Amino acid sequence: MENITNYNILVKYVNDPRATWAVGGLGAIAEFAWKKDEDVFFDIKKTRVFIKTPRGSLEIKDYDTAKLIPYFILPKNSDFWGHGIAFCLPTAKAQMTKRKTLTELKPTKKNTSLFDLGLETTNVDCLVCTNDSNLLGMLRKNTGKHLFQNSNPALYSIIDSSPKRVFVSRLAKIVVKTPIPKPGETTNPGPHTHVFPEMLVTKRTHSANIPIPSGYVPTLLLFPPNPISYEADSTPRLNIDDYNTFRNIYDSLAPPLVRLLRKQAEKMINDRCDPENFPVPKNQESRTALQALMRELVYKSTIDPMTLARWKKRFETNGS
């Protein structure tokens, strides 16, 4: 990638079937990905990025207004890492409707009805769209009620009917047409949604492990190809091209002090310095960035394994 811009990052990863996109908050999220062998439609312009498959779609607008936050993901009991990029807006601009009860909305297409699930999420509106007469009757009968209140029958009707789900933020929209897994069933890769009532009560817009700066809210998440995500049934591995692409993005967009910390640590490890001479990072983002670096350096032939082992013993906590 020649220039690290919002548009170039979007184009790079929208065209990569190994990338995953997400819209939502903690407890309510929609994900989108596509496969090489399915029918895919692209419409990529400077003002709008759109991709559609038979299983769902992703639309992104106004992405130049977003602040991009790259970050690392450290799974427990693993020597590998993942990474993501959060597209953020100032908190005031990221606010959605935050409806508290099931609400019928004006549909955007004929012969369909649109309902807000009323999950009161800050950075996403969670909607269902249907023309199923039985589901419509149940939803209209329970409008004005909380979806999870007193075993609301509308919830079970939604699960049984699997209507089209539409999750919308100020930057992006994901439409999911795949069936909702029944209890005990596995969620298949590709477009799908998750709603967890026990997590919604926290009213958080994101995991505490994502280093979103104060005053900002994520409105779109991108998960580029990374060592823990290449194939669901394969063991983690390093793809050097994918690694170099994300590292260039990270080294361009991460906070300057975090970048400096990683640069200094890498030099000291390369020079076989004692880890006791390196200060313990003071915040979670810096600790995670340092731990990720040590996992990355395992794959550099110039690094002394014994030195790296001493650094890992001092700083690696086996997951953040």
In a domain, 219, yes or no: yes
For residues 314 and 191, state if they share a domain.
no
Structural tokens at position 48 = 């709008």
For residues 230 and 309, state if they share a domain.
no
In a domain, 119, yes or no: no
pLDDT of residue 291: 95
Q: How many domains does the chain fold into?
A: 2
Return phi, psi of residue 21, to 5°.
Answer: -120, 150
Domain boundary among 209, 238, 254: 254
- Give the residue carrying structure tokens 């340092």: 290
For residues 182 and 307, state if they share a domain.
no
In a domain, 154, yes or no: no
Domain boundary among 238, 254, 270: 254
For residues 259 and 245, state if they share a domain.
no
Per-residue confidence in pLDDT tens, the chain, 320 aa: 678 999 999 999 999 999 999 999 999 999 999 999 999 999 999 889 999 999 999 999 999 999 999 999 998 877 788 999 999 999 999 999 999 999 999 987 788 999 999 999 999 999 999 999 999 999 999 999 999 988 789 999 999 999 999 999 999 999 999 999 887 788 888 899 999 999 999 999 999 889 999 999 999 999 999 877 665 556 677 888 999 999 999 999 999 999 999 999 999 999 999 999 999 998 999 999 999 999 999 988 899 999 999 999 999 854 44
What DSSP string runs through 60-120? EE-GGGPEEEEEEE--TT-S--EEEEEEEEEHHHH------S-EEE--SSTT-EEEE----
For residues 29 and 169, state if they share a domain.
yes
Could you give the 3-state DSSP secondary structure of residue 56?
strand
In a domain, 155, yes or no: no
Q: Where are the beta strands (DSSP E) in the chain?
A: 20-25, 28-32, 41-44, 48-53, 56-61, 67-73, 82-90, 103-105, 113-116, 125-130, 164-168, 172-176, 192-195, 216-223
pTM for the whole structure: 0.92
For residues 227 and 189, state if they share a domain.
yes
C-alpha 12/C-alpha 245 separation (Å) is 10
C-alpha 25/C-alpha 195 separation (Å) is 10
Structural tokens at position 92 = 């005031």
Domain boundary among 208, 237, 254: 254
Domain span holding position 316: 255-320
Is-contact 21 173, C-beta < 8 A? no
For residues 172 and 239, state if they share a domain.
yes
Model confidence over 165-191: pLDDT tens digits? Answer: 999 999 999 999 999 988 778 888 889
pLDDT of residue 318: 44
In a domain, 54, yes or no: yes
In a domain, 198, yes or no: yes
pLDDT of residue 319: 42
